[in-house]
Amino acid sequence: MSAENVTVFFEKFKADSGKMQQELPEMTKAFMGLFQTTMKDGALSAKVKELIALAAGITVRCEPCINLHVQKCIAAGATREEILETAGVVTMMQGGPGFTYVPKVMDALESCGK
């Protein structure tokens, strides 16, 4: 997925999220409540939690997760270097499969202007 495709993903995801809110309001509300409660500052900062979520997304090879959590890492104050180092930790733990997803992280960073 190129940076341009990531931008298209964000546009489509926004529209899809609206559809889910209309058609699955209780499920969407429950998930968003869990997300907001879990990802706020606590013993771990929101930035650290987003970097962990990004690592999990890379590990399971979830491109939408990578795109969304790169965006959220940036919003939480993570730098390009911190995000790429997170991808490096995944590569160290997972080897080749994690390594092949680092370019997807870079595409998401580019799409987010970083």
Domain count, the chain: 1
pLDDT tens digits, 84-107: 999 999 999 999 889 999 999 999
> Quick one: average pLDDT of 59-68?
95
> Quick one: average pLDDT of 50-65?
96
Give the pLDDT score at 62. 95
> Quick one: average pLDDT of 13-29?
95
In 3D, which of 21, 32, 42, 95 has the Cα closest to residue 68? Answer: 32
* Structure tokens that stand for 43 in this block: 């013993």
Cβ contact 6:111 at 8 Å: yes
Give the pLDDT score at 4. 87
Reply yes or no on whether the pLDDT at 48 is more than 90: yes
In which domain, by residue range, is 21 found? 3-111
Based on the number of CB atoms within 10 Å of its own CB, is 102 exposed (0-12), middle (13-18) or buried (19 or more)?
A: middle
Global pTM value: 0.90
Q: What SS3 class is residue 45? A: coil
Reply yes or no on whether the pLDDT at 26 is more than 90: yes
Task: Output the domain CATH number for residue 43.
Answer: 1.20.1290.10
DSSP 62: -
The radius of gyration computed from the CA coordinates of the chain, to the nearest angstrom, equals 14
Q: How far apart are CA 66 and CA 41, in angstroms?
A: 21
